Structure 1
Amino acid sequence: MIGFGLRLTLRGGREGVVRLALTAAAVAIGVALLLVTVAGINGVQEQNARFAWLNSGIAEVTSPHAEPSPHPLLGRVATDHYKDERIIRVDVAATGPRSPVPPGIPRVPGPGQYYASPALQKMLRSEPAAEFGDRYPGSLAGTIGKEALPSPDSLIVVVGHAPRDLTGAHGAGPITSIATLSPGTCWQCRYGMEEDVVALVLAVTSGALLVPVLIFIGTATRLSAARRERRFAAMRLVGATPRQISVIAAVESAVAAAAGTAVGFGLFLFLRVPLAAVPFTGESFYPGDLSLSPAQIALAGLGVPVASAIAAWWALRRVRISPLGVARRVTPSAPRAYRLIPLIAGIAELTYFLGRRPDTTNGQIAAYMSGVLLMMAGLVVTGPWLTMTGARIMARRARRPAALIAGRRLSDDPKAGFRAISGLVLALFVTTTAIGVMTTFVAERGTQRGDRTAASTLVADLEHRTVRGAGGPRSGSASVPFRTLDEVRAVPGVHGAMVLHPDPSGPRDPGDPSSRDMLISCADLAGATGFGRCAPGATTAAVPSHFAWILLDEEHDRRGTVWPASPVAPERLRALPVQAVMVRTDGSPRAIERARTALTRAFPLMTEPATVAESGADTDTARMLTGYQRLVNVVIIVSLCIAGCGLAVGVVGSLNDRKRPFSLLRLTGVPIGVMRRVVLLESAVPLLVTAMAATGAGFLAAELFLRSQLDYTLVAPGLGYYLTVLGGLAGSLAVIGLTLPLMERITGPETARAE
């Protein structure tokens, strides 16, 4: 029977070939999306693993089997900025011939040498030296290899020093072995995604994308299901056994699915390179990172055809019971209200965890993702009941033939009417939930970036700059040389520089040295806007330790603040150590970068200068928000694409299955325009009814998750969300409209005769 099934599939005439090609094409799209999703998850893990060496010196990411070196490597990792780019600077010094060597380079660079990533070398060649290149004096020793770069666009430089330069430097410490474990398991790691973030990314991505993809593949394998039922019923009437019919159907579906799976793998390989350039996590991927494990390849390559064969076997259950049942086309029983149970159960599960949030990340994933997936399954199960309810209302209120016919047909078989738009319903649910969570999270924890003054004011923190003297290295800063200040003030676009000194009277709170006031010259403060002013007649003002960051406080206007006078005379003020230098610019990138480069060249081991806006944005919260935003965008775009493909396949399959009824209606005199409106209403009514339910369920899921996980109340999304939903619905109706021209071609008199 397998050979007979192959002959029927491959030599079934033009109609069989078209059906095989359409099913294979739809499966190919679904498989390609499935593989891209899984490969993206693998890519995030690979990218996170290559962040490990940047956290060397932290026990949580150091392999317990690593042998410590007798000659530690002195290392320090800092973050620099250039325009809108973040640069990772690694300062290293070898203390002996056996000092650990960072990955990607053959040896530890010596003083006056540095290794740079390919992307950074490109910037060094293309950008003016006075704005960027002069920050790394010396010679380029080589290129950092791929094994040390999370992304081909990573901007990383490894700068060599003498051991005495890094001894006692802020942030520097001994490294006896290079970290190799993923930073996802480390709470102290500065670089890489934290464990809970990675876990949530993987869970949300897989849960939100894999389910619609699998539904789409299932829809594709049901193309021409009704016509296949009639053909197999005829075989039963001439003596075929149920088992033989099942084998033939399984072979036909498996062949189409196998062909589609093979093409899907080809599409994945074709799309892998362009998709690798998309910075889903903030940085692009190496194409090799978007790869699949042997187990994943086997699961997709074998699982899709097997699942298609099982789906075909299940779809023909009526034929196996009675072939005459297909011919009679008995109206299936109407859906009952008990279909609401899974949806209610998902809501109840999320409600249960209000005030009972699990303590572990895995527990939270199990709790919240299972609830969300249960709600998604509930929407699919409840969809036919909602479709039937909407169809009956439309039929009762119908004033035109098209509405009456569509209402009656939907009432008779609401499962078939909902099946075509089930993918879009899930896409709306996922989109609503994701945007609701993201909007609230940004509203509650969004980082303030300040105004134009914050974006144009550069801050160089010299508090931890290493100073050498007779007593050895110590933390602090001597006065900034006049030559450096003159060089900075001479940069075109720089309006002035404010020098901040620690108050010699000491901290206000002995237990909190960071609360110490700082002193500033009233002459410097007079030319600054947005920072307040001195008291009348004062020459020196006392300002708080967070003076530079008041520009980020949008709730209080500091422009009218009068800072208290300090008894420290200007002559004594200039002799005090310098804690920070604030450079006021016109906001142009050229002025900011030239001033930043001048300060970095003068103090290479200080905390890298950054504008107030950059410092406010370069936080863990801001990076997490950026990652969540990209994740939301990915989920929305891919979900809508999957839904659109599934809708097109479902409508085309529905039209193909109903060629004979439509052709008979046309022979009885029904205008083609009326039949097109029937098809449009049969898709639009369940779409609009279930869309409202999916949107409401999405907001409810977001509210329950936010209250349980973060104790936040849902913040309504902006206009963009509603435009996205309306655009998605309009696009779906457009997809349905594009299939209507097929009506005239498939409902001719020859179709009725052939049947």
Structure 2
Amino acid sequence: MRMRQWSRDLAMGVRFAFSGGREGWVRALLTAVGVGLGVALLLLTTALPSALDVRSQREEARLDYTYDFTPRPAADNTLVVSDVDTTYRDQDVRGRLMQPEGARAPLPPGLAKFPAPGDMVVSPALKELLASDAGELLRQRLPYRITGTIAERGLIGSQELAYYAGAADLASRIDPPNVARISAFGDPNPSPDSTDPVLVLLILVVFVVLLMPVGVFIAAAVRFGGERRDRRLAALRLVGSDSRMVRRIAAGEAAAGAALGLLFGTVFFLIGREIAGSAEAFGVSVFPSYLNPTPALAALVAVAVPAAAVLVTLFALRGVVIEPLGVVRTARPARRRLWWRLLLPVAGLAMLYPMLGQGRDDGTFNEYLVTGGVLLLLVGITALLPWAVEAVVARLGAGGLSWQLAVRRLQLSSGSAARMVNGIAVAVAGAIALQMLFAGVESDYSKDTGQDLTRAQMQVEVPVGTPAARVTGDLTRTKGVRRVVSMSEGFVGARRKDPEVTVQLTVGDCAALREVATLPSCREGDAFAINGSEGDSDTSGLAEAGRTLYLDPAYTGEKGNASFAWPVPRDLKRAGAHKDPAGAERGGFLITSAALPAKATAQLRSQVYVSLDPAVPLAHEYVRNTVARIDPLIDPMTWTETERSERFTSIRTGLFVGAACVLALIGASLLVSQLEQLRDRKRLLSALVAFGTRRRTLSLSVLWQTAIPIALGLLLAGAVGLTLGATLLKMTGTTVSVDWASVLAMTGFGAAVVLLVTLLSLPPLLRLMRPDGLRTE
């Protein structure tokens, strides 16, 4: 009997959610859109692990590197493949040259057949780029005929730029790992990744920080139209329903709105899933088929959202007395108590406290304590903000008419105002904490390359057999190149085979040698021994006049070049050591080009340092095109001052992608919330306009009603974010420091979102401020 009564009450709540004419449908639609936006992002988040796993699997399936430096013999099932990756306008282009050596040569994933020499198979995104005006310079670098496209299973993302081209002369240039002979694609010896506790901590905090605002917005969305709902419940009390019955009816109404929100969220997710197939964020793209939520996580979302909606509704009704003659909420409510609200952040800090100073040397961080501690700190914002808004607006004094209207409205409904900005405050607090954590540990995952960008911006490593003079000459005539410095490098030892020690040998003209050492004087034919180089104690023992040294001596078990004998000149000069453009301090001998026969120089590997003209915006692309014409296997390096760990960079990229999605959700949900509040006050606004209140005054009052809570929310978010960030840095064993520019930037982003939402809500506000809004039917 009781179950039947409960089911009737819940069913009545479901009917109320979709009845009431246009008013009821608008209320249900607003709730469904608000909940649906949150559900869509939750489904997207549950699909991320699957998407990352698929990307990883496809990347591993097409691996073609081998670190076996003893080339295997050619066979019917072997393929010679060369890595010819390049960069175009800061976009990575994956390229491979291939030469099958038999009918059973392994075919790369995504290809139906091998391209013939001079042909290439490209990804859809690369095909589109090459066909556009933006791809003009890249077309010059890839002089192959397009004969097909790479299928989805051969790519890791829809916007990936990749190609496979046929070649005819790769077998003679095998040099693992860049040019290798393989019999299968994939990693033959996969090794498990070692887990870095700090990176695991970063991942945990990123997920909590990104998902927490979503939960806050869903909780706020299910309370849309709360005042009208309570008036309907009061009418039910008038016709005989008891307080428990009306709460069950309210629970049914909330569950119905949440269920409709699940439907909307699924539609939004499917639409976003298709859009993701043509979008790229921070260099990451996916195929729609990647974004399949894990069934268990999707089921959890389907159960948790309606359950949370019911719990939030019942929690909201705990302080509302619904009587037959009205809702006792318009009277002055009891002041909010502070003590229990402080318990949440204090409990969060208590959970994180045992891990302070742990760093990465004392094992992994407890994932449950980390997740629970961060959650409690962020939830503490949602508990403290209503108290802060109430305490502040109660003390706000007189001002202009728009100010008084805003303050009075906030004093009557400070809880609604706080709910609207809770999500922004949580997102900003989490962003501040993460920014502090990333900035604090960044130095552990990035290192200074030592490259001097004032002397060169690109480096070209010329392989043995390619004339360095040709590379230098062509680059000197390239558009955007200001200066080119070329030098050849090798080693010399005291014996032709198996010498005990070898020292470095650098060959170039006087201008090039001055880039790597301090010379007393220099003219063609001179030779120098470097003094004072760090870690070089062998040069002085070999620099004996008349002694014969051997260029690139061979070692037992290795295939070496024919060593060339070089007698140390009697007029050997001394040079002082200093760093070369790449940041290395060289030792050994320096020889001008005229002091060594051309036959010996041809055995050396050359380095070319290129200085670019900053006034030419695409100078890097012109250099890459020139080098590709000379030899497509040469990959010019673009210099940077620092380089980061790939895993650290990928986590940071994931944060940026997730933050962009959360910010979009924040903006959309805030707009829906703002429109719901304006719709709820339509009659009041119309009455004020009818009595002669200027529209500008009402518009300013709406702005003040948004600005005051958001200012308090951002201040609270800053305090909690700094506290959480300092705690996380202490956990990683990093010195606590605050990047105030980033803190202000995060706060500014939150304020900008609210300002944009307020501006977008002004046109509907002006439409609502019409005297005919007082008309009723």
> What is the TM-score of this pair, normalised by structure 1?
0.75
- Give a deviation string over 1:12-48, Cα, whole Å, max 9, x none: 2343233223223333333334344444554343333
Query: Contact conserved, 1:34 with 1:213, CA < 8 A, in 2?
Result: yes
2-structure distance, mates of 1:548, 1:152: 47
2:82–2:180 contact (8 Å) kept in structure 1:
yes
Aligned to 2:172: 165
SS of 1:326's equivalent in the other structure is: strand
> 1:580: which partner in 2?
606
Residues 206-215 or 274-283, more deviating: 274-283
Partner of 2:31: 23
Given the alignment of the two structures, is residue 379 of structure 1 paired with residue 378 of structure 2, yes or no? no
Distance 2:145 2:416 in 1: 70
Structure 1 letter corresponding to 2:492 = P
Matches within 5 A, 1:65-464: 71=77, 75=81, 77=83, 79-91=85-97, 97-107=103-113, 115-121=121-127, 142-159=148-165, 164-165=171-172, 167=174, 169-171=176-178, 175=182, 177-179=184-186, 185-186=192-193, 203-204=204-205, 206-242=207-243, 244-295=245-296, 297-301=298-302, 303-317=304-318, 326-327=327-328, 331-357=333-359, 363=365, 366=368, 368-394=370-396, 397-398=397-398, 414-440=414-440, 445=446, 451=453, 453-455=455-457, 457-462=458-463
Query: How far apart in 2 are the matches of 1:217 and 1:514?
Result: 69
- Contact 2:486–2:609 (CA<8 Å) still a contact in 1? yes
| Superposed displacement of residue 376, structure 1 | 0.8
Structure 2 Cα separation of the partners of residues 749 and 124 of structure 1: 61
* 2:293 counterpart SS class: coil
How far off its partner does 1:282 sit? 1.3
Shift of 1:425: 1.0
Q: Which residue of 2 aligns with 1:612?
A: 639
**Range with greater deviation from structure 2 (641-650 or 177-186):** 177-186
Is the CA contact 2:510–2:522 (under 8 Å) kept in the aligned structure 1?
Answer: no
User: Deviation string for 1:588-632 (max 9, x for gaps)?
Assistant: 5777556545545655556x232434xx67x553x5676456445
Q: Residues 573 and 280 (structure 1 numbering): CA distance in 2 closer, same or farther, change over 3 Å?
A: farther
Change (3 A) 1:659 1:506: farther
Q: Aligned equivalents of 2:153 and 2:604: distance in 1?
A: 40
Change (3 A) 1:11 1:513: farther
Cα distance in 2 for partners of 1:670, 1:337 equals 42
CA distance in 1, matches of 2:578, 2:177: 21
Q: Distance in 2 between matches of 1:506 and 1:347?
A: 65
Partner residue, 1:191: none
Q: Which range moved further: 480-489 or 367-376?
A: 480-489
Q: What is the one-letter code of the residue matched to 2:163?
A: V
Distance 1:253 1:18 in 2: 15
Separation in 2, partners of 1:326, 1:165: 88
Instruction: List aligned pairs for 1:695-706, cutoff 5 A.
Output: 695-706=718-729
1:582 Cα deviation (Å)?
0.5
Report the RMSD for the aligned CA atoms in angstroms: 5.1
Q: Are the counterparts in 1 of residues 468 and 486 from structure 2 also a CA contact under 8 Å?
A: no
Q: Which residue in 2 is equivalent to 1:46?
A: 54
Cα pair distance change 1:387/1:721, threshold 3 Å: closer
- 1:235 deviation in Å? 1.3
Name the structure 2 match of 1:466: none
SS in 1 for 2:486: strand
Residue pair 2:231, 2:326 contacting (<8 A) in 1 also:
no
**Residues paired across the two proteins, number:** 704
Deviation at 1:342, TM superposition (A): 1.5
Aligned to 2:636, the other structure's residue is in SS state strand
Which is worse superposed, 647-656 or 346-355? 647-656
Q: Deviations over 1:413-465 (max 9, x none)?
A: 6544422221121122133234334455667737678546533x442253xxx
Residue 212 of structure 1 deviates from its aligned partner by: 1.5
Secondary structure, counterpart of 2:108 in structure 1: coil
- Code of the aligned partner of 1:480: P
Tell me if structure 1 keeps the 8 A contact 2:342–2:380: yes
Alpha-carbon distance in structure 1 between the residues aligned to 2:132 and 2:20: 62
The structure-2 alpha-carbon separation of the partners of 1:677 and 1:284, relative to structure 1 and needing over 3 Å to count, comes to closer
Task: Show the 5 A alignment for 1:554-573.
Answer: 566=590, 570-572=594-596
Q: How does 1:717-732 map to 2 (within 5 A)?
A: 717-718=740-741, 720-721=745-746, 723-728=748-753, 730-731=755-756
8 Å Cα contact 1:9-1:20 kept in structure 2: yes
1:660-718 Cα offsets, whole Å, 9 max, x none, are 99999999999998887776555443322231121122133223323433625434243
> For the residues of structure 2 that align with 1:129 and 1:315, how far apart are their CA atoms?
58
* Cα distance change on mapping 1:157 and 1:326 into 2, 3 Å: same
Contact 1:535/1:564, CA 8 A, preserved across alignment: no
CA distance in 1: counterparts of 2:402 and 2:750, whole angstroms: 27
Q: Please report how far the alpha carbon of residue 356 of structure 1 lies from its aligned counterpart in structure 2 after TM superposition.
A: 1.1
Separation in 1, partners of 2:755, 2:472: 60
Q: How many angstroms apart in 2 are the aligned matches of 1:399 and 1:125? A: 62
Conserved 8 A contact 1:502-1:579: yes
Distance 1:29 1:593, change over 3 A: closer
Q: Bigger CA drift: 29-38 or 488-497?
A: 488-497
Q: 1:685 to 1:437 in 2, by over 3 A?
A: same
Of stretches 152-161 and 544-553 in structure 1, the one that deviates more from structure 2 is 544-553
Alpha carbons 1:666, 1:747 under 8 Å: kept: no
Q: Structure 1 counterpart of 2:610, which letter? A: R
The residue aligned with 2:710 is 687
- Partners of 2:772 and 2:437 lie apart in 1 by 47
- Shift in alpha-carbon separation, 1:185–1:142, aligned structure 2, 3 A: farther
- Does the residue aligned with 1:87 lie in a helix, a strand or coil? strand
**2:42 equivalent to 1:34:** yes
Q: 2:488 aligns with which of 469, 486, 500?
A: 500
Q: How does 1:734-749 map to 2 (within 5 A)?
A: 734=759, 741=766, 744=769
Deviation of 1:652 (Å): 4.9
Structure 1 residues 695 and 749: CA distance shift in structure 2, 3 A? same
Q: CA deviation at 1:297?
A: 4.8
Kept in 2: contact 1:219–1:649 (CA 8 A): no
Alignment CA distance shift 1:270-1:627 (3 Å): same
Match of 1:536 in 2: 521
2:467 paired with 1:480: yes
Check conservation: 2:123, 2:160, Cα contact below 8 A.
yes
Instruction: Find the residue that maps to 1:421 and give its secondary structure.
Output: helix
Amino acid at match of 2:382: V
Higher helix share: 1
* Equivalent residue runs for 1:632-643 within 5 Å: 632-643=655-666
Give 3-state SS (helix, strand or coil) of 1:51's partner: helix
> Equivalents in 2 of 1:256, 1:746: separation in Å?
31
Does the residue aligned with 1:48 lie in a helix, a strand or coil?
Answer: helix
Q: 1:671 to 1:116 in 2, by over 3 A?
A: closer
* TM-score after normalising by structure 2: 0.73
- 2:504, 2:491 → 1: CA distance? 7
Residue identity opposite 1:354 in structure 2 = L
**What residue is the counterpart of 1:467 in the other structure?**
none
Match of 1:709 among 732, 736, 752: 732
Residue 9 of structure 1: how far off its partner (Å):
3.8
What per-residue deviation string (whole Å, max 9, x for no partner) do you get for residues 477-512 of structure 1? 3573755655555556655451322242589xx999
Percent of residue pairs identical:
25
